[in-house]
Amino acid sequence: MTQSQDAPLLEVKDLRVEISTKAGSFFPVNGHSFSVRSGETLGIVGESGSGKSMTAMSLVRLLPKHAARITQGSIKLNGRELLSLSEAEMRKVRGSEIAMILQDPQTSLNPAFTAGQQISEALRLHSPGPRSTLRARAIDALRKVKVAAPEHRVDNYPSELSGGMRQRVVGAIAISCEPKIIIADEPTTSLDVTVQAQYLRLLSELQQETGMGIIFITHDFGIVANLCHKIVVMYFGRIVESGTVERIFARPAHPYTEALIGAVPKLRGHKGRLRTIEGQPPIPTEPLSGCPFAPRCEKADNRCFNELPPTVDADGDGEHLASCWRVLEQ
Amino acid sequence: MAETSPNAPIAPTFWSKASDLPLIPIGLLLIVFIIPAFFAQWIAPHDPYVPNLGARLQPPVFFGGTWEYALGTDRLGRDILSRILHGAWYVLAVSMIGIAVGVVVGTTLGLVAGYARGWFDGLVMRLVDISLALPAMLLALALAAAIGASFLSVVVVVGFALWAYFARQVRAEVLLLRNSDFVARSQVAGASHVRILFRHILPNVTNTVVVLATLQVGIAIMLDASLSFLGIGIPRPTPTWGLLVSDGRDFIATDWWISFFPGLAILLTVMSANMLGDWLRERLDPRQRQI
Amino acid sequence: MLLYLTRRIASSLFALLVISVIVFLLSHLSGSPVDALLPDDATQEQVDSFIREWGLDKPLWQQYLTFLGNALQGDFGTSLKWPGEDAMGFVLDRMPATLKLGGLAILISVVIALPLGIAAAVYKGSPIDSLAQVFALLGQSMPNFWLGIILIWVFSVWLGWLPTSGTGTFAHSILPAIAIAWFQVSALARLTRSSMLEVLDAEYIKLARVKGVSETQVIWKHALRNAAVVPLTYFGILAASILTGSVVIETVFSWPGMGWVAIEAIRGRDFPVVQAVIIAYAVIYMLSNLVVDLLYVVVDPRIRHG
Amino acid sequence: MSNTPILQVENLSKHFDVQTGLLRREKKTVKAVTGLNFDINVGETLALVGESGCGKTTTTRLLLRLQTPTAGQVRYDGEDIFQLKGAALKSYRSRVQAVFQDPWSSINPRVRIHDFVSEPLIVNEKLSSSEVDRRVHEALDAVGMRPQDARKFPHEFSGGQRQRIAIASAIVSRPRLIILDEPVSGLDVSIRSQIINLFKDLQAEYGLSYILVAHDLATTRYLADRVAVMYLGQIIEQGPVDDVFDAPAHPYTEALLSAALSADPTEARTEIPMNGEVPSPLNPPSGCAFHPRCHRRLGAVCDVKSPTLQAYGPHHSVSCHLHDRQPTA
Amino acid sequence: MTLSHDMNDRGIAMHNRISNIRHAPKRLLATALLAGTILAAGGLGNAAIAQEKVVIAVSPLGADSNLYWTTTGAFIFPSMQTLVGNDPETGGYDNSQLAESWEHSDGFKTWTFKLHPNATFNGDWGPVTSADVVHSFNLHIGEDAKLSGISRFREMTITAVDDHTVRFDLPSPDPDFLFSHAGRGSLVIYSKAQFDAEGLEGYETAPAGSGPFQYEGREVGQSLTFSTIADHWSGVTAEFDQIEFRWVSEPSTRFAMLSAGEAHAVTLPRDLSDDAMEAGQTVLSSTAGAMQSTMLFTGQFMNPEAEENRDARTYAWADVRVREAVNRALDRDAILEVLYGEGVQALPVYTMDPRFPGYSEEIATGFDDAFGYDPERAMELLADAGYPDAFDNAAIPLVVTSLAGNPEFAQMAELVQAYLDVVGIETEMREQDWATGNTAIRGFTADFVTPMRNAPVRPSALGVQIFFTKHASPHLDVGDPELNELGAMLIDETDPATRDQLLQDMFTRIFETYAHIPMASVPASVAVNSELVEGWTFPGSTSSGLSHYHLIDLK
């Protein structure tokens, strides 16, 4: 794991996204702060509805129109504030500086265009060139993501490709413009384990080659443990814990993180009863005081129900933050 | 992982449901269509059939007429308002029975065709093609010429014109449903084909059918109007809206109110039914795409 | 692909066969052509020879087989109402007028409906959307003959821009085409809107935006290509509706096309022409559906390679 | 664990005819599954693992009698299930149940929970309505749902709750065998552990047998007693789960296990690279189906000769030329 | 007779053989290219019409052909002529057409016509001679003839006495023979020379006629055009260059054409005529009554012994009291005002006309007393007859024939229904096209009351036989033995005074037995654009009501 020590590539501070619905408004992204350095992989972990994907989309400023908007915070890419860019400027950033790999390879490729057309479209937008060059570069990109016989595949329609192949094409689109950051939103969920392993290895290799930063959004602790350098754990729109992978797996500070890790079946070792987290996450639009995890927390006391816990430095070195009253007490 | 499943509408609370009700179309439908259909004989100010030759071609109130004939009178001095109110019942009957015929025939055939597949499916789809290939208007003309125009012939034509749409749509849905996990689960449980069709698949196509039926109200009323235009609608003196518009069409430029107000009634009803259909569609089945 | 096409054609032929039975039976359900075509003071000899001449004395199935055999050779008999005219030839002669009108109506529908539906989908919930919806609903709730007459009065009589009726110049076809198209515009616009909305929700649209594709390109290139499949499905029905619409509108505008023939023939009990015209309508419908099937393949590579 | 098999699968095959080519003239056969042999004992869990397209799903559909096999038998209490009729079939239907992957699509959204859960009873057994109510409540109780939930509709529940309801419906007829088709892969981590625990509890309480189809190996390890690894429609390795996971005999199993990511950053992982993707079942490779991707390929024998399943250890068998000459222990 | 054609007569026949068929495939292909082709087809047309072309828009007619004898005979091209003409002012017969003079034998069985010696066919087909008349006669009785009144032609023989004299020999006396030459289903004279040179195809392409106009061409289903002949043999010349007939079925479209100045003259329903006048257009009426209108009871209801239609005795109108009540219940003045407006005259007996023999002043003056609006009297009569309880079929079906395009029939039925309802007579509307009605009448199963027109007004002797006795039309008679007896006597009677008396007796019988529901005698009317047309005199002597086009007086 190479980890560069220079200034963060991407720095997010106190980011907040508001969603307005008829039933009321709420914050799926609520005061996020995190950073990614080049060559670094940040994992954003959380269960359904925790706001992971919303975080990803807010980074490229592609939230659903009308319904959602960024209300506060700052997103700096290489020191440039993304939130103050015009839409046209932002469009130049997308694809070329920040790329994205979406969840479902079945649906994230346009069925009406060939793989090559879809790759070269991104290329043309950010570094135009003649058609033949674009094609050659598209084939190059496919070769980079280890697609066999790229000069044939380039003319295939998505329907003619297997799931793993499609996800590679999506990857090729993402890396084609050599972005600084790739946001990968659960890119392997629908893939077989073997294909998943190949794909993740590919991402790591590409990262080592280019030094790009990766933000990996997932609910799979296996991926987090194997791929990421740092983790952000989300619960109900908030970051409840963040830090390096080693620390969090070794000494989870937040009861939620701890329970989650305990709930994952392991490949080796003791096969006892798995830990469970009883109850359901709160309803977003209903008023809430205190820690949102309190109703499901085994260790919650009165204060947890009434006051929102502050974010505290769990290990005292600024590398491991958690938002829990119990951490403060320790 | 599916963060939200398309099959899972968020359980609406009572108030979100109520405030969401499309009050305008429902209100319009009630005022223009439903209430007149059932209560015309009490609320209509005049007899819709009896000519009053002394009051021919009275303009509507505010256009030189009086409140006595608020929407004016026709060539025989009959009150337009009363005729519209009384006509509502027939329009309701034709569209409802016609659509019911279409729904029953179309849904049954679509259901069985989609579930059984094979030759029966092929046959039904060919019938659908045939039905769509025969312009309803021509069929109506031929039918009317053959057996005479009557309430029955209009209903038959409306039903014939509509069933294929239901059959097509229902079949398409059934094709998806029959491969769904819950149908597989019922098969595992040992449910018979009949049980699977009627307990499991049918309830899941009712949304589609309801939405489609609402949207077909417009087509049914339009068809009725066109048949009246060709002189093969429900026979006189029944004041169906189609007949009223059709009868007044010669006077659009001069005594415009004769056809304008029945036309407006058609417009408001069809529009409301469509709006209601749209609302139901968004409500019941966001994925359905049908005209 | 070839097989697919062969099968489509075979099933269309089967459909036509059934239609021919329906058409044949309908003609024979109605009043005798004797009463429509012979003078009222015709003698019994005249009636008898007429019946012999038209084969009305043979059993029904024999009449049908004769009818079918002749029909297959394009021979639907001689028109009773337009004496001396070959029934199918007469209908075919009127077909270009109807196709011309229908083609223009389709063109108008598409040119208006697609942008309208797309705009409504892209700006969902905005005033443009509401406007498009109201426009669409208006079209679906106005009897087309009513609309036709209003168009005549407004554009021909009051404004004096266009001729009221008849054929001749391109100007003659504008009003009837609009009257036919209006309903289709609304249906097509609504369909485009809903299909577009669905496509705009798709992941690949998200991906296109993430790539930095401009919104215009996202809509016109990525979304429309896929959204077009659904309105395309509708084209078969569109063709049928336009044919149906032409029956009424051709009457209003005195447009001597197939619709006009159909009505005149049915009123005149001109069975050979009635049969020919219905079959001709059905063939046009089947052909347009076949064209749609082919268009599918162009639009949707999944079918081309599937 | 008793040794009486409740289900014996013998030489089970299912082939589909597919038409391909320009005019669909060419007929090809997809061998979805070929020559499967396995037993399930009372109270035991057998897992079928493998990549998509390996034939897991076809196998379950055959066992559930949703499809008929091309060859082979499935014996339940000694009788071939494909010959069952009438009461015997009803009995099989109520004794063998299933839980599917997607809790959203496996419950009919238009049916009340009570009607959904009780269906296996209604169609197979003649019970009074009060008896049905009692059994439904019992089943709901067993999966941790409340009796009053029976009156509700599916959309009122979360994914985890729906899966519990699906399980309730599977156990309501007091089955002996439940086929679990990816029963937890659609669930969140915290819910997944609840359901895994629930399966174990139910098995302990009712002595159920499970056939588990899963692609998540860690889950398999927690739930299964024995595991059968499938590749292109065939079982290539079978044995007790711990034996197979600790010491895989087949190179494919080895590669599969190495690809699985453990949720432990400290654990060392050596990934065995596999070449390419699963071949199309329309054109399966000659010889050993796995040979084009195999990292331990011996040579020509793998390309030409298909290996057969043979004993490798106690209750452990494998189909690979690597172990051809090994004596049976 | 003619249930069918009279009902359908508002327009003019047409037909086209022009070689469209040959070009069809090519045109089909072209139009398949849709948009491009259409856009290329031409720029915006000019809505204004050339002053020298007169456009007349009327509703389309039944059969449509250049071959007059293959049609029902509703429209004679202005390029064609018959033997006898009508006086534009009075409607009486005159020698404005091909016959200069005529005479008949005492017994009305031999009629001799002398042709105008200078009459010639247009387009250099030579003079009109008796050979042309014989030739045309033979065409008119041919196999393909569908002409109304054809059976009369078939029974007679024709002889060319000399080049300009023809003689018709009739099997029975026909005092009204001139109607066969200047009315419905007349003998229209075609050129034998053209036939010899070009055959039927020549007629189909451009039939040569002898009228003041020359055939120019047609668009099938759309229009028919003629050009004016500058030096016509008869000396009449229209003041315009061309005349075009346009077939437009929607009255409102015709009204729009008139208002937009696209048409000089259009036929309109009565209400639209009023509107047209309000809008400043002019409505011209025919100088004589063009049409009689009535409602007829069907079935042989006046003969309780009738074998043909035994059901007729159970119809409510088999009771004379019911028939009188029906007539008494109607306020004719009000109804006719609505249906026909100005110029309408009371009609005591359908088919009786002051212009023809049999007219009875006595009946005319007694009409109000016997048929006047008197609902009380109607109700008394009904009570007396025990209506409705004493009747198995109390409800009277009223036929509406919207399909045939007779707008006033629907209104007539609606008004009649409303008035009958007031006195308690049950009715039901029956939407039925004329072919169905005809089939029922022909099959002796007719059981309805149907509106009917007599246009052009036939000679009384002809009309009364068609509509009331079994002699001219064996199906539509009322089944009255006395009427049938009188009718039989009329056939062979040649003495004018006796004929007049017989007819009067028949009309009296019809009148006294309330055998039908007479409505009105109505002039034909046409709305003309007041900025384009000054006037037009026409007698209303043809089926369509319009004729004498050369008399159209432009501004």
Residue of D nearest to A50 (CA): D188
pLDDT value of residue D25: 54
Test B8 with D104 for CB contact under 8 angstroms.
Answer: yes
Chains A and E touch, contact meaning at least 3 pairs of CB atoms under 8 angstroms apart = no
pLDDT band at E44 (very low <50, low <70, confident <90, very high): very low
Spatial distance between the Cα atoms of C289 and C237, rounded to a whole number of angstroms: 8
pLDDT value of residue C32: 64
Residue A320 neighbours by CB under 8 Å, 6+ apart: A241, A242, A243, A244, A247, A248, A253, A313, A314
The total of structural domains in chain E comes to 2
Q: Is residue B3 pLDDT above 50, yes or no?
A: no
Examine residue B31 and state whether it is found in any structural domain, yes or no: no
User: In this complex, is the C-beta atom of C107 within 8 Å of any C-beta atom belonging to chain E?
Assistant: yes
Look at B249 and C29; give whichever has higher pLDDT. Answer: B249
Look at C15 and E395; give whichever has higher pLDDT. Answer: E395
Residue type for position D131:
E
Spatial distance between the Cα atoms of E83 and E105, rounded to a whole number of angstroms: 18
Domains of chain C, start order? 2-72 (no CATH), 93-305 (1.10.3720.10)
Question: A208, A201 in Cβ contact below 8 A?
Answer: no
| Distances from the Cα of A264 to the Cα of A200, A214, D192, E207, angstroms | 20, 24, 8, 98
Domain-ending residue, one of E162, E193, E210: E210
Question: B167, B124 in Cβ contact below 8 A?
Answer: yes
User: In this complex, is the C-beta atom of C264 within 8 Å of any C-beta atom belonging to chain E?
Assistant: yes
Spatial distance between the Cα atoms of E407 and E409, rounded to a whole number of angstroms: 5
pLDDT value of residue D227: 94
Q: With a CB-CB cutoff of 8 Å, which residues 110-149 of chain C face chain E?
A: 149
pLDDT band at B5 (very low <50, low <70, confident <90, very high): very low
Residue C223 is classified by DSSP as I
State which H helix or E strand residue D221 sits in.
helix D217-223
pLDDT band at B2 (very low <50, low <70, confident <90, very high): very low
C161: how many CB neighbours lie within 10 A of its CB? Answer: 13
Residue E498 neighbours by CB under 8 Å, 6+ apart: none
Examine residue E500 and state whether it is found in any structural domain, yes or no: yes
User: In this complex, is the C-beta atom of B133 within 8 Å of any C-beta atom belonging to chain C?
Assistant: yes
State which H helix or E strand residue D226 sits in.
strand D226-231
pLDDT value of residue E250: 84
pLDDT value of residue E281: 92
Q: Which chains touch B (3 or more CB pairs under 8 A)?
A: A, C, D, E
Examine residue B56 and state whether it is found in any structural domain, yes or no: no
CA distance C306 to chain A (A): 8
**Please, which residues bridge with residue D20 across strands?**
D26
Identify the domain containing residue B239 by its residue range: 62-290
Domains of chain D, start order? 85-224 (3.40.50.300)
* Torsion D103-D109-D111-D113 (CA) sign: positive
Return the structure tokens found at E100.
């200069």
User: In this complex, is the C-beta atom of B226 within 8 Å of any C-beta atom belonging to chain C?
Assistant: yes
Radius of gyration of chain D (CA): 21
* Torsion A259-A264-A268-A269 (CA) sign: positive
pLDDT value of residue C43: 67
Q: Long-range contacts: B15-20, Cβ < 8 Å, 24+? A: B16/A22, B16/A23, B19/A22, B20/A22, B20/B283
Of B3, B13, B16, the CB nearest to A53: B3
CA angle E65, E252, B257 (to 5 degrees): 155
Mutate to test the interface with B, among C27, C238, C266 (most CBs of B within 10 A): C266
Chains B and D touch, contact meaning at least 3 pairs of CB atoms under 8 angstroms apart = yes
**Please, which residues bridge with residue E522 across strands?**
E291
Spatial distance between the Cα atoms of D224 and D44, rounded to a whole number of angstroms: 8
Q: What is the pLDDT of residues A127-172, one digit of tens each?
A: 788 888 888 889 988 888 888 888 888 888 888 888 888 888 988 8
Look at A284 and D5; give whichever has higher pLDDT. Answer: D5
**Please, which residues bridge with residue A70 across strands?**
A17
* CATH code of E378's domain: 3.10.105.10
pLDDT value of residue D143: 87
Average pLDDT over residues E192-202: 93
User: In this complex, is the C-beta atom of C3 within 8 Å of any C-beta atom belonging to chain D?
Assistant: yes
pLDDT value of residue E527: 93
pLDDT value of residue D4: 73
Spatial distance between the Cα atoms of D38 and E435, rounded to a whole number of angstroms: 79
Average pLDDT over residues E419-447: 84
Name every residue in C having a CB less than 8 A away from some CB of A.
Answer: 125, 202-204, 206-214, 222, 225-226, 299-302, 304-306
Question: Distance from CA of residue E376 to its chain's centroid?
Answer: 37
Residue type for position D259:
A
Return the structure tokens found at A185.
């939103």
Spatial distance between the Cα atoms of B268 and C142, rounded to a whole number of angstroms: 10
Examine residue B245 and state whether it is found in any structural domain, yes or no: yes
Instruction: State what percent of residues in chain E have pLDDT above 90.
Output: 47
What are the DSSP calls for E191-234, one per residue?
A: PHHHHHHHHHHHHHH-----SSEEEEEEETTTEEEEEE-TT-TT
Instruction: Note the ipTM here.
Output: 0.75
Closest CA to B176 of B135, B228, B115: B115
pLDDT band at C221 (very low <50, low <70, confident <90, very high): confident
- Mean pLDDT over all residues of chain A? 86
Q: Is residue D324 pLDDT above 50, yes or no?
A: yes
For the ranges C11-15, C168-172, D23-27, E44-48, the lowest mean pLDDT is seen at: E44-48
Average pLDDT over residues E365-394: 92
CATH topology classification for A10-97+179-329: Rossmann fold (3.40.50)
Spatial distance between the Cα atoms of B132 and C238, rounded to a whole number of angstroms: 10
pLDDT value of residue C210: 84
- Backbone φ and ψ of B9, nearest 5°: -65, 145
| Residues of chain C positioned with their CB less than 8 A from the CB of D22 | 1-2
Q: Cis bond leading into E117, ω under 30°?
A: no
- Backbone φ and ψ of E547, nearest 5°: -170, -175
Examine residue E258 and state whether it is found in any structural domain, yes or no: no
Q: With a CB-CB cutoff of 8 Å, which residues 5-64 of chain D face chain C?
A: 22-24
pLDDT value of residue E62: 65
Of B236, B253, B255, the CB nearest to E429: B236
Angle between helix B136-147 and helix B202-229 axes, rounded to 10 deg: 70
Return the structure tokens found at A251.
């000494």
Residue of D nearest to B8 (CA): D155
User: In this complex, is the C-beta atom of C103 within 8 Å of any C-beta atom belonging to chain E?
Assistant: yes
Test E411 with B56 for CB contact under 8 angstroms.
Answer: no
Q: Report the largest interatomic distance among the alpha carbons of chain A, rounded to a whole angstrom.
A: 68
Mutate to test the interface with E, among C27, C38, C82 (most CBs of E within 10 A): C82
Residue of D nearest to B206 (CA): D110
What are the DSSP calls for B97-144, one per residue?
A: HHHHHHHHHHHHHHHHHHHH-HHHHHHHHHHHHHHHHS-HHHHHHHHH
Test E248 with C171 for CB contact under 8 angstroms.
Answer: no
Residue whose tokens read 């590398």:
A319
Mutate to test the interface with C, among A57, A62, A103, A108 (most CBs of C within 10 A): A108
Q: Cis bond leading into E388, ω under 30°?
A: yes
Test C40 with E204 for CB contact under 8 angstroms.
Answer: no
Residue E290 is classified by DSSP as E
Domain-ending residue, one of E210, E237, E254: E210
Residue whose tokens read 């390679």:
C305
Spatial distance between the Cα atoms of A123 and A95, rounded to a whole number of angstroms: 9
pLDDT value of residue E30: 36
Return the structure tokens found at E306.
């009738």
For the ranges A43-57, C45-59, E329-343, the lowest mean pLDDT is seen at: C45-59
Domain-ending residue, one of E210, E232, E267: E210
E80: how many CB neighbours lie within 10 A of its CB? Answer: 23
Return the structure tokens found at E64.
């449509």
Residue of C nearest to E401 (CA): C267
Q: With a CB-CB cutoff of 8 Å, which residues 176-215 of chain D face chain A?
A: 188-190, 192-194, 196-197, 200, 215
Question: B48, B244 in Cβ contact below 8 A?
Answer: no
Residue A103 is classified by DSSP as S
Look at E390 and D265; give whichever has higher pLDDT. Answer: E390
Examine residue B4 and state whether it is found in any structural domain, yes or no: no
Test D93 with B188 for CB contact under 8 angstroms.
Answer: yes
The total of structural domains in chain B comes to 1
Average pLDDT over residues D241-266: 87
| Distances from the Cα of E179 to the Cα of E91, E173, E182, E185, angstroms | 12, 14, 5, 9
- Mean pLDDT over all residues of chain D? 86
Examine residue B108 and state whether it is found in any structural domain, yes or no: yes
* Torsion E377-E383-E386-E392 (CA) sign: positive
User: In this complex, is the C-beta atom of E213 within 8 Å of any C-beta atom belonging to chain B?
Assistant: no
Of B1, B4, B20, the CB nearest to A189: B1
Domain range summary for chain A, segments of one domain joined by + = 10-97+179-329, 107-178
CA angle E50, E53, E54 (to 5 degrees): 120
pLDDT value of residue D260: 85
Return the structure tokens found at A157.
């329609």
Average pLDDT over residues E510-533: 92
Test A22 with B19 for CB contact under 8 angstroms.
Answer: yes
pLDDT band at B18 (very low <50, low <70, confident <90, very high): very low
| Residues of chain B positioned with their CB less than 8 A from the CB of C30 | 142, 145-147
Radius of gyration of chain E (CA): 24
Examine residue B2 and state whether it is found in any structural domain, yes or no: no
Average pLDDT over residues A212-220: 90
Look at B288 and D92; give whichever has higher pLDDT. Answer: D92
- Mean pLDDT over all residues of chain E? 84
Test E70 with C84 for CB contact under 8 angstroms.
Answer: yes
Return the structure tokens found at A197.
């392993």
Residue B281 is classified by DSSP as H
Q: Is residue E423 pLDDT above 70, yes or no?
A: yes
Average pLDDT over residues E370-375: 94
* CATH code of B157's domain: 1.10.3720.10
Residue E108 is classified by DSSP as S
pLDDT value of residue B17: 45
Q: What is the pLDDT of residues E455-495, one digit of tens each?
A: 888 899 989 998 999 887 767 888 899 999 999 999 888 88
Residue of C nearest to A170 (CA): C207
Residue D168 is classified by DSSP as H
Examine residue B11 and state whether it is found in any structural domain, yes or no: no
Q: With a CB-CB cutoff of 8 Å, which residues 27-56 of chain C face chain B?
A: 27, 29-31
Residue of B nearest to E252 (CA): B250
Residue type for position C290:
L
Q: With a CB-CB cutoff of 8 Å, which residues 109-148 of chain C face chain B?
A: 133, 137-138, 140-146
Identify the domain containing residue E179 by its residue range: 71-210
Q: Is residue E364 pLDDT above 70, yes or no?
A: yes
Closest CA to D316 of D328, D298, D300: D328
Return the structure tokens found at D15.
């082939």
Question: E86, E77 in Cβ contact below 8 A?
Answer: no
Residue of D nearest to C4 (CA): D23
Q: Which chains touch A (3 or more CB pairs under 8 A)?
A: B, C, D
Return the structure tokens found at C155.
């554009």
Q: Is residue C255 pLDDT above 60, yes or no?
A: yes
Residue E474 neighbours by CB under 8 Å, 6+ apart: none
Examine residue B37 and state whether it is found in any structural domain, yes or no: no
pLDDT value of residue E111: 95
Question: A81, A21 in Cβ contact below 8 A?
Answer: no
Test C285 with B226 for CB contact under 8 angstroms.
Answer: no
Q: Which chains touch D (3 or more CB pairs under 8 A)?
A: A, B, C
Q: What is the pLDDT of residues C100-111, one digit of tens each?
A: 898 898 888 888
Burial of B63 by CB count in 10 Å (0-12 exposed, 13-18 middle, 19+ buried)?
A: exposed
Return the structure tokens found at B237.
């003196």
Residue of B nearest to C234 (CA): B291
Q: Is residue D209 pLDDT above 90, yes or no?
A: yes
Chains A and D touch, contact meaning at least 3 pairs of CB atoms under 8 angstroms apart = yes
pLDDT band at E48 (very low <50, low <70, confident <90, very high): very low
Spatial distance between the Cα atoms of E128 and E126, rounded to a whole number of angstroms: 7
For the ranges B109-123, E81-95, E142-156, the lowest mean pLDDT is seen at: E142-156
Q: Is residue B20 pLDDT above 90, yes or no?
A: no
Q: What is the pLDDT of residues A20-48, one digit of tens each?
A: 877 788 888 888 889 999 899 999 998 88
**Please, which residues bridge with residue B57 across strands?**
none
Average pLDDT over residues D6-22: 80
Spatial distance between the Cα atoms of D173 and E72, rounded to a whole number of angstroms: 82
Question: D36, D59 in Cβ contact below 8 A?
Answer: yes
Q: Is residue A257 pLDDT above 80, yes or no?
A: yes
- Backbone φ and ψ of E53, nearest 5°: -110, 125
Spatial distance between the Cα atoms of B108 and A329, rounded to a whole number of angstroms: 68
Q: What is the pLDDT of residues D58-85, one digit of tens each?
A: 899 899 888 889 999 999 888 899 998 8
Burial of D133 by CB count in 10 Å (0-12 exposed, 13-18 middle, 19+ buried)?
A: middle
Q: Is residue E8 pLDDT above 70, yes or no?
A: no
Beta strand A213-218 with A230-235 is unpaired
Q: What is the pLDDT of residues C12-38, one digit of tens each?
A: 888 888 888 888 887 676 556 666 666
- Mean pLDDT over all residues of chain B? 81
Average pLDDT over residues E437-451: 85
